[in-house]
Amino acid sequence: MRALIAGIAALAVAAIVVLIVAGDSTAGKGVALMLFGIACVVAVSAVFLAVGRSEDAERAAAAKPPEEEAPPPEDPHPRPALDRRRPMPPRRPS
């Protein structure tokens, strides 16, 4: 994360240097504006990344370990006739 912040600062400083060196050059101002825009986009993305990681860590800390599932209960109304009956014949195509 520190490398990302250093990269953002370097882009902003590069934009300032290009703006100072360019003087009245339209192309130089364009390059400086581009560098500054990229630095701003990366900075906003880094903020969202930091917030997302902190939320993930908070959820992981709050999550309880999964409990073991209990076996399904016995059927309260057993139907033994279904076990005894003959299988149905196959259906005819219509």
pLDDT digits (tens, 9 = 90+) for 9-55: 888 888 888 878 877 888 888 888 888 888 888 888 888 998 999 99
Using an 8 Å Cβ cutoff, are 24 and 73 in contact? no
Spell out the residues 6+ positions from residue 38 whose beta carbon is closer than 8 angstroms to its own. Answer: 11
Query: Quick check: 67 pLDDT over 80?
Result: no
Using an 8 Å Cβ cutoff, are 12 and 46 in contact? no
Q: How many other CB atoms sit within 10 Å of the CB of residue 38?
A: 15
Backbone angles phi, psi at 25, to 5 degrees: -70, 125
